Amino acid sequence: MKKKSMPKPPKFYEQFVEKYPQVANKYEELGDAVHDQGPLSHRDRALIKLAISGSHLYSSAFKAHIRKAIASGISREEIEHLVLLFLPTVGFPSMMAAMGIVTEQLEEK
């Protein structure tokens, strides 16, 4: 699947980078190193990050990973199925909250 260009980061992240450039640079270097360390594909990593951030209801991170997943060619149906998989593990309320975030993010477009 062809990788699309990554979406622009949220304004608050851009402000963080501007205020703390050294910290932001090290954070991004760490992320790159972790990504490059193992055998998982870009797509697999995108789905895993969606699952982690969504199941913990890290709203800002989940929204960012939804945008990145869409830019990586992951479909809305795949994202919704991933969120549905939260149900037996993290429960109905968390799954519904995450599904609401997905709907909100994808209907803004």
Query: Model-level pTM?
Result: 0.81
Q: Cβ distance 17 to 24 under 8 Å? A: yes
Chain segment 41-74, per-residue pLDDT in tens: 999 999 999 999 999 999 899 999 999 999 999 9
- Whether the CB-CB separation of 68 and 7 falls below 8 Å is answered with yes
pLDDT confidence bin for 26, thresholds 50/70/90? very high
Intra-chain end-to-end CA distance of the chain, in Å:
21
68-100 pLDDT, tens digit per residue, is 999 999 999 999 999 999 999 999 999 999 999
pLDDT of 109 reads: 53
**Residues in CB range of 108: below 8 A, 6 or more apart:** none
Q: Would you say how long the chain is, in residues?
A: 109
Query: By the 8 A CB rule, do 3 and 72 touch?
Result: yes
In the chain, where the domains are located: 40-107
DSSP string, 2-67: PPPPPPPPPHHHHHHHHH-HHHHHHHHHHHHHHHHHSS--HHHHHHHHHHHHHHTT-HHHHHHHHH
Q: Does domain 40-107 have CATH number 1.20.1290.10?
A: yes
**Does the structure show a pLDDT above 80 at 22?**
yes
